[in-house]
Amino acid sequence: MARVLVVYGTGEGQTAKISNYAAEVAGEHGHDARVADVKELPEGFSPRGTMR
């Protein structure tokens, strides 16, 4: 099982839909998938901390 982090930025929401779908498919294949909007990342964001 892999850990997958999909970080996206979107203006109209389409990229968010695609990112969520990609994470959903990865999850269906047994992976730990998470999605994050780049605009909502906290200061000092680290992918390592997100996937623990």
Q: Kindly report, residue by residue over 5-41, the tens digit of the pLDDT.
A: 999 999 999 999 999 999 999 999 999 999 999 999 9
Report DSSP state, residue 11: S
- Output the pLDDT for position 44: 87
Confidence of residue 48 (pLDDT cuts 50, 70, 90): confident
Provide the pLDDT for residue 52. 52
Whether residue 4 contacts residue 30, with contact meaning beta carbons closer than 8 Å, is answered with: no
| pLDDT confidence tier of residue 42, bands split at 50, 70 and 90 | confident
As for how many domains the chain has, the answer is 1
